[in-house]
Structure 1
């Protein structure tokens, strides 16, 4: 057994539970994204809104979240991820439940989603990956993949759960029940088991289990903001999130336009979550073994295939299923790729803050993607133009990753 293999074994023997616990915490940050699709049509019927107006909530939440990603990242670096994560889980539960009180006035909708916007950054990927990065070095790619699998877990469960609750209890109860049910599972797990190196009491730290200065290795904030790699990651991440989150949020309505029922469309949409889980773990495995920027570029480019399938014969169930698989696979890889590249290019010294900048770009892209997709449908009565735009932007994003070069 070589040294690297032994190091991997030690990391997982000591901290195997941490990425798993982080996955549950991270799932809270995507609750509002992955569950919204089944609510779009009921909200349209209840209030006479357009799809763009319904999707405005995602835009508000993500723009507000983007503004707070960097400050929260700095707090994670200073206070440790545990306290921030616990606050985030509670805030999101309350904020998401409050969406069920919508009155039909746009101002009320904006205010409710503003509460979501303030809540989400406290449970963003920065929080969970910061703890994992402090414990894993040799197998960081797969550890990140497990931690970030909270998103595919949510993508699998939330659309079906929300659709079932809407069908049986109405959309208002569905908002509250979804939040309460999931928080009841997540909060105790985070409280009992989520601790990074920075959260461990100083007197209980076993110096033999932590590599000296690991958290101090890396570039300064000033160096990070001067790095071309940062801006390439910002561009690639924002464009990919803009297009793919736009498709994700509208995936149920897209399939319904081809004749699927809401439950059938939600069932196919749940495949995205399963595929995302596979994509995330597979990507983590690849990132630990191959050129990370090339792995990321190839995965981004694969998204084009899903668009072609929907644009050509989108009414075929087989095409819808394969498209869902591809969308899930690429979305599962996205944050994993960005987190891994950030840790390698910037180090851990200011990981929370610099990865917070990257997450802010991802969040801004995700903010406007659903709004743009909804507005495209409202204007053209078709999602075709948005799918074409997606092909252009994911291609450019993949090429941007290819130009990163090796970390110094």
Structure 2
């Protein structure tokens, strides 16, 4: 139900579906790349400033939390007034946060840059809004694969930026690496023009979709399947954020080199391209709730296998590959279910609220990882907590009903 597609095509003939997908994927790549590489800055920055891992963990936990809390706000603004301005502000905040992080010399300044500014910046320019643009601008037959491609592009950013970030830190220092990251984020500003959406007016929104903001929220949170979807998404954030931030240090503690750690994170990104594209294709052929349950269960089993055997370079890379197949592959079916249940009018807003749950999980995964390590000298309790959450989410997604929400039809007088 991409109601504005035909209008956009006639007004801006250069914005073909292919151009929209390519530019959207480039934004997803750029926005996801640096934040997935920030775990490699833990050790050089903690050595230089004599911080514990809990200090860095708190800053990145704040980033995850504020990214989530800012997402429905950014989504509501984009739904109401159009996407481009939100993207530009988000990109500038992101670049500014990386710059503040480069000059951070106290935990407070680290929290401001890496936590607050990057967190709110991500809420305005991350792949979540790219997926919203795809849902609004692309015809239905192209939407499923495009959602997978947008998610896969974020993973390709992780694949590129992880070894690139390690190489920059090793050869030029962590300060220069952050400066380069900040400059690259400015490329999002011109790319956002291609996926801009028009302000919502009664002229371009069909009568069936002319809901108020409050009505849309009440409908979503009164819908059992949406609530189950949101609860299950918590696990995705917990596992991804914990692994992204703490896996490099976990591998280093066990004698695996930083370069190998970079390639492990890169392998996660590379194999998630396969996972996201495959799920984008499969979700048009199989029930999305079953796909989500299998993903969460497979992720839990891969963690059990990883922590149950000695950590070697080979086992670490195999874990990266296995984790990558399920990394962001929850996003295409989750976003598709939101669009299926409620349409695209308030898609960015409703998906933004689902993403709050994801990022609350991310906040706890990053923060608890640092706190538990400082207290016990081990990440083992968090690994097993990730397994438990994975099993629970596999069960939570099974009762989801995959159909549009029933709405009363106006009767003639």
TM-score, normalised via structure 1 length: 0.87
Indicate yes or no: 2:267 matched with 1:271: yes
Match of 1:70 in 2: 72
Indicate yes or no: 2:385 matched with 1:386: no
Residues 34, 161 of structure 2: 8 Å contact kept: no
1:30-76 superposed Cα distances (whole Å, 9 cap, x missing partner): 34531111111111101111112111111111222222222211111
RMSD of aligned C-alpha atoms?
A: 2.6
Match of 2:253 in 1: 257
- Of 253-262 and 390-399, deviating more is 253-262
Whole-Å separation in 2 of the counterparts to 1:29 and 1:293? 28
1:183-194 equivalences under 5 Å are 183=185, 185-191=187-193, 193-194=194-195
Match of 1:45 in 2: 47
Whole-Å separation in 2 of the counterparts to 1:126 and 1:248? 18
Residues 140, 288 of structure 1: 8 Å contact kept: no
Residues 260, 313 of structure 2: 8 Å contact kept: no
Residues 25, 150 of structure 2: 8 Å contact kept: yes
Structure 1: 4+ residue segments shifted above 4 A: 199-203, 211-219
Match of 1:372 in 2: 368
2:244 equivalent among 231, 248, 265: 248
Match of 2:124 in 1: 122
Q: CA deviation at 1:102?
A: 0.7
Match of 2:409 in 1: none
Residues 136, 143 of structure 1: 8 Å contact kept: no
2:154 equivalent among 126, 133, 151: 151
Q: CA deviation at 1:368?
A: 2.1
Distance change (3 Å), C-alpha of 1:194 and 1:93: same
Residues 272, 329 of structure 1: 8 Å contact kept: yes
Whole-Å separation in 2 of the counterparts to 1:92 and 1:201? 30
Q: CA deviation at 1:126?
A: 3.7
Q: CA deviation at 1:223?
A: 1.0
Q: CA deviation at 1:164?
A: 0.9
Whole-Å separation in 2 of the counterparts to 1:24 and 1:400? 33
* SS in structure 2 at match of 1:333: coil
Q: CA deviation at 1:215?
A: 6.1
Match of 2:141 in 1: 138
1:165 equivalent among 163, 168, 175: 168
- Of 284-293 and 89-98, deviating more is 89-98
Q: CA deviation at 1:396?
A: 0.5
Indicate yes or no: 2:407 matched with 1:404: no
- Unaligned 5+ residue runs, structure 1? 1-9, 206-210
1:105-161 superposed Cα distances (whole Å, 9 cap, x missing partner): 222222222222332211134421221111231232211111222320221122212
Match of 1:89 in 2: 91
Match of 1:348 in 2: 344
Residues 72, 122 of structure 1: 8 Å contact kept: yes
Whole-Å separation in 2 of the counterparts to 1:251 and 1:292? 29
Distance change (3 Å), C-alpha of 1:25 and 1:201: farther
Whole-Å separation in 2 of the counterparts to 1:327 and 1:217? 39
Residues 145, 281 of structure 2: 8 Å contact kept: yes
Higher relative helix content: 1
Residues 202, 210 of structure 2: 8 Å contact kept: no
Whole-Å separation in 1 of the counterparts to 2:188 and 2:75? 22
Whole-Å separation in 2 of the counterparts to 1:148 and 1:202? 31
Residues 148, 335 of structure 1: 8 Å contact kept: yes
Match of 2:4 in 1: none
Q: CA deviation at 1:15?
A: 0.6
* SS in structure 1 at match of 2:327: helix
- Unaligned 5+ residue runs, structure 2? 1-8, 10-14, 405-413
Whole-Å separation in 1 of the counterparts to 2:399 and 2:201? 42
Match of 1:6 in 2: none
TM-score, normalised via structure 2 length: 0.86
- Of 43-52 and 25-34, deviating more is 25-34
- Of 211-220 and 286-295, deviating more is 211-220
1:176-234 superposed Cα distances (whole Å, 9 cap, x missing partner): 11221x3354443333x2234x369999x9xxxxx967965998332112111222122
Whole-Å separation in 1 of the counterparts to 2:310 and 2:78? 44
1:223 equivalent among 219, 222, 236: 219
Residues 152, 273 of structure 2: 8 Å contact kept: yes
Residues 88, 123 of structure 1: 8 Å contact kept: yes
